[in-house]
Amino acid sequence: MAEPIPAPDTPPRLPPPPFERINDFPDGLSPMLVKELRQGLRTQTFVVLFLSLQAVLAFLLLIAAPIADTNAPAKAGEAVSAIIFCVYALGILVIQPLRGISAVAGEIKQNTIDLMVLTRLSAWRIVSGKWLSIMSQSALITLAILPYLILRYFFGGMQLFAELALMACLLIVSGALTAFTIGMSSGSALLRGLIVVGGSTFMMGYVLFGLSQQIPYLIEVLSFTRSDQSLTLLAVLAIALYACYFFLEIGTTSIAPASENRATRKRLIGLAVMVGSYLLLHPVGPEPALITALIIAGCMALDLFSEQVKFPSVVCRRFVRLGPFGRVAGRFLYPGWATGALFFCGITLILFLLIYMTNPDPKQFSYAAIGLGTLAFPAALLQIFARKSSNLFSFYSTLLVLCFILTCIVFTIHGTASGSQFLWLFSFIPASLLPIVSQTSPSPEQSTALLLSFLVPGIYLLFLLGRAFSHLMALSGMESQALADLDEKTS
């Protein structure tokens, strides 16, 4: 029998704690970004997506190379480009943005948001950190795909700069979509479900059947040979960047303390982008300019009509310091749907003024009124049926989506049936008047539609202002309180 091993004099040396590992990211990076990257790079979604893209693209090039040797190499190259862009777009326009859909909701559900609020992280840093993390991973995917695009150069017929620019543009659009899902992730489960199912189906359909057809055109646009196309592209990029900011602000607002006024900045930036993009795009044509302005107004409306109306008087301090001018500005810029309704009326007037200055065609005014009225309609419904809801944002977004779907159905039925009687039935949704208003030949029917296109939105706006009246009156009391606090602080 073997002799027992004598006990050592000193206990066995344990491996040192892995403290060095916490220096894997520099101190200068946002803590939120570090956290999200550490988690995100380990998720199966990212790893599987990253490896699948590599496998698919490597396989594709292996097949394409022999074909290109025998047949027309330029044709094979174009096909390879289209496939690379489709696969890439599926990754960064569908899968990556969907990863943001539970970003804020997850933190709230897990009760970890309180723990973060108690640190030095602001709500904006929390939300933007989540966005940056997903975008970093999207950028990583982009970098990983670049070699395949360069390899495709050897097939010939490639416009290298334009194709790289297209890749960058898709990345920017991916940023906007990711911001959209992160912003919406504070909404209700129903809304998130709609986005996951409806949004991903729509985007997947667009990538597979729309984008793949548009790639040659997009590459032509990105060659920057025509000034109007370049302006359009700039406007689209401006909208995408604004969408990034706007939807990240939506997410931020949902977790920020009530004493933090985020409404003023959001509204002023939105207004500036709307006016800027309208003026930028007007040389291209009045319709693209108006559509762009209405899209931005739509983004703003999501927030304007759904902000909680209560906020602490501390928010008023900066305005009351400016005297009567500040108080008037406050009526448009304080948080809450009541001031939001007033601000929306301001947007309407500014858009009409822009049209008047650039292209005073009655139809343009009518289109603007129809667009803005369609945005005001769900807000009016909200004030009738769900005024006291704690999640006005989800309600408004859902109603707006339902209005959009209903309008599409009405247009489809109108397209198959003769006559416009059917459209009049749905004139409570101003957008349903569009086919009549846009008729080329003037008719009594069109005149009525033009009249209605101003009347119906006007009624909605008046109704909203009526509902907002008591809240707007109550602002004076809050301003007095803020003034008293300021006096107390000074004394």
Partner 1 sequence: MSAAISVRLLYRYFGTIKAVNGISFDIPHGSVCGFVGANGAGKTTTMRMLATLDYPTMGSAEICGVSVVNHPDKVRSLIGWMPDHFGNYEHMTVLEYLDFYARALGYTGNERRSRIEEVMAFADLVPLADRLSNKLSKGMTQRLCLGRALLHDPQVLIMDEPAAGLDPRARVELKHLIRILAEEGKTIFISSHILSELGEMCDSLLFINAGRIIHHGDAESLKHGSDEAGGAFYDIQVDDRPDSVSDWVVLNPDVEVIESRKKGARIRISSAEPAKAADVLRKMVRDGVRVTEFHREERNLEDAFIDILGQIEQGNADIEPSGELQTSPPQAIRELLENTDSSPLQSPPSTEPEEGNSGGTSPLSS
Residues of this chain, 466-485, that bind partner 1 according to CB under 8 A = 478, 481, 485
Q: How many residues bind partner 1 (CB under 8 A)?
A: 54
In the complex, the smallest distance separating the C-beta of residue 27 from partner 1, rounded to whole angstroms, is: 4
CB-wise, 9 or 488, nearer to partner 1? 488
CB-wise, 119 or 213, nearer to partner 1? 119
Give me the helix-helix angle, 73-89 and 44-70, nearest 10°. 170
Q: Amino acid identity of 329?
A: A
Residues 184, 376: Cα–Cα separation, whole Å: 20
Asked whether the beta carbons of 367 and 437 are under 8 A apart, the reply is yes
CB-wise, 256 or 372, nearer to partner 1? 256
Backbone phi and psi for residue 190, each to the nearest 5 degrees, phi listed first: -65, -45
One of 59, 310, 360, 405 touching partner 1 (CB under 8 A) = 310
The half-sphere exposure of 270 on its side-chain side, counting CA atoms within 13 A, is: 29
Q: How many of the other CB atoms lie within 10 Å of CB of 119?
A: 10
In the complex, the smallest distance separating the C-beta of residue 106 from partner 1, rounded to whole angstroms, is: 8
DSSP single-letter state for residue 335: S
Residues 178, 106: Cα–Cα separation, whole Å: 16
Binding mask 129-168 for partner 1 (x = CB under 8 A): ----------------------------------------
In the complex, the smallest distance separating the C-beta of residue 91 from partner 1, rounded to whole angstroms, is: 20
Residues of this chain, 367-406, that bind partner 1 according to CB under 8 A = 388, 390
Residues 72, 483: Cα–Cα separation, whole Å: 77
DSSP single-letter state for residue 209: I
Stretch that binds partner 1, among 192-200, 253-261, 351-359, 372-380 (CB under 8 A): 253-261
Asked whether the beta carbons of 423 and 436 are under 8 A apart, the reply is yes
Binding mask 16-55 for partner 1 (x = CB under 8 A): -xxx-xxx---x---xx-xx--xx--xx------------
CB-wise, 256 or 294, nearer to partner 1? 256
Contact between 261 and partner 1 per CB under 8 A:
yes
Distances (CA, A) of 41 to 35, 199, 311: 10, 24, 39
Provide the token pair at 157: 């017929």
Provide the token pair at 253: 């607002």
Contact between 314 and partner 1 per CB under 8 A:
yes
Give me the helix-helix angle, 212-221 and 73-89, nearest 10°. 100
Asked whether the beta carbons of 479 and 311 are under 8 A apart, the reply is no
Residues of this chain, 109-128, that bind partner 1 according to CB under 8 A = 109-123, 125
Instruction: Please classify residue 412 by burial: count the beta carbons closer than 10 Å to its beta carbon, then call 0-12 exposed, 13-18 middle and 19+ buried.
Output: exposed
CB-wise, 447 or 480, nearer to partner 1? 480
Contact between 490 and partner 1 per CB under 8 A:
no
Backbone phi and psi for residue 6, each to the nearest 5 degrees, phi listed first: -65, 140
In the complex, the smallest distance separating the C-beta of residue 144 from partner 1, rounded to whole angstroms, is: 21
Nearest to 299 by CA among 204, 208, 223, 400: 400
CB-wise, 183 or 373, nearer to partner 1? 183
Contact between 108 and partner 1 per CB under 8 A:
yes
Binding mask 59-98 for partner 1 (x = CB under 8 A): ----------------------------------------
Stretch that binds partner 1, among 241-249, 304-312, 360-368, 423-431 (CB under 8 A): 304-312
Binding mask 183-222 for partner 1 (x = CB under 8 A): ---x------------------------------------
One of 311, 332, 367, 395 touching partner 1 (CB under 8 A) = 311
- The rounded Cα 315 to chain-centroid distance in angstroms is 26
Contact between 434 and partner 1 per CB under 8 A:
no
CA torsion, ordered 141, 144, 150, 152, to nearest 10 deg? -70
Helices marked H in 153-188 — which ranges? Answer: 160-184
Q: Which residues form the interface with partner 1 (CB under 8 A)?
A: 17-19, 21-23, 27, 31-32, 34-35, 38-39, 42-43, 108-123, 125, 186, 254-261, 308, 310-314, 317, 388, 390, 478, 481, 485, 488
